[in-house]
Amino acid sequence: MSCGKKRNQTVVSQFLLLGLPILPEHQHLFYALFLAMCLTTVLGNLIIISLILLDSHLHTPMYLFLSNLSFSDLCFSSVTIPKLLQNMQSKDPSIPYAGCLTQMYFFLIFGAMESFLLVVMAYDRYVAICFPLHYTSIMSPKLCVSLVLLSWVLTTFHAMLHTLLMARVSFCEDNMIPHFFCDMSALLKLACSNTHDNELAIFILGGPLVVLPFLLIIVSYAKVVSFIFKVPSSQGIRKAFSTCGSHLSVVSLFYGPVIGLYLCPSANNSTVKGTVMSLMYTVVTPMLNPFIYSLRNRDVKGAVERLVCKKQISSFL
């Protein structure tokens, strides 16, 4: 353990990521699995982003938000999976102190960005279903761009605040993190200095970043459901569920593990259980999102068909 004394404070030069509780004989199997998931995540989200950029039919508020969500998912998984794969193949699972804080910083940015974008997308669906005649005027390009920019600014501020507070924390003898990435809560458990400011920041910002967005999504869809029951025709109901089904699936995949892990902690929650739940929203959800939005989305399927047709026509010319 690389520890030394400087100005009466303990300085840790590196941490050890203990990773996943996988038996040695299963390492290669899980390495192949996570590598495949990583490649699928990158390819799937890049396809979604490319389709939205190339097809003018997808230049709408909903797909502006979806392209940002795909970019966020791509970066979110890239923060943790490459290091996880490296450590599974290496006998040295260490990560430098600066690298650990950097990983935590970007993890917080893209994790919070996912939360904000899901709220914005829920509001977009609420306006589209409950106020279809005023949708264009309400979801103006200026408002959509402002919502996206505000989300990026707030998440950057949030991540920077927590990272700067973590940089003030002192660590001593124990530098082993029982996780596959530099999780903020895991780091605070290793601290040997006062973490009151860190815990206060988590308490104050935890509500606006996790609880409030989730409640806003619930309220938005409660209003949507209430509106659906007022629609006399079954066609209105089918339209509502076709546009909201994909988004609700993504919300469940993301918030389910987050709420279970951070907002409803149990004394019975073991480190292994926590690690598995973290895998759900850091690895599995970013991989599944492109499939959820493409397999159940006629607009995305139409964009793929138009792109294929254009390539076939250009090949004949």
Residue 252, pLDDT > 60, answer yes
In the predicted structure, residue 153 carries a pLDDT above the cut 90? yes
Bridge partners of 33, per DSSP, are none
DSSP 168: T
Over residues 198-220, mean pLDDT: 85
Contacts with 200 (C-beta within 8 Å, 6 or more apart), sequence order: none
How confident is the model at residue 15, as a pLDDT?
A: 92
Q: What is the 3-state secondary structure (H, E, C) of 242-294?
A: HHHHHHHHHHHHHHHHHHHHHHCCCCCCCHHHHHHHHHHHHHHHHHHHHHHHH
Lowest mean pLDDT segment, chosen from 37-46, 74-83, 245-254, 300-309: 300-309
Question: Which are the contacts of 209, defined by CB distance < 8 A and separation ≥ 6?
Answer: 112, 115, 158
CA-closest candidate to residue 245, choices 271, 216, 225: 225
Going by pLDDT thresholds of 50, 70 and 90, the confidence category of residue 91 is confident
Q: Lowest-confidence range among 96-105, 135-144, 267-276?
A: 267-276
pTM of the model: 0.86
Average pLDDT, integer, range 112-120: 92
Task: Categorize the per-residue pLDDT at 313 as very low, low, confident or very high, splitting at 50, 70 and 90.
Answer: low
Q: Which among 219, 213, 40 has a CA at the least distance from the CA of 111?
A: 213
Mean local confidence (pLDDT), 11-28: 84
What is the average per-residue pLDDT within 119-143? Answer: 91
Question: By percentage, how much of the chain surpasses pLDDT 90?
Answer: 38
The percent of residues in the chain predicted with pLDDT above 70, rounded, is 86
The pLDDT of residue 4 is 43
- pLDDT at residue 102 greater than cutoff 80: yes
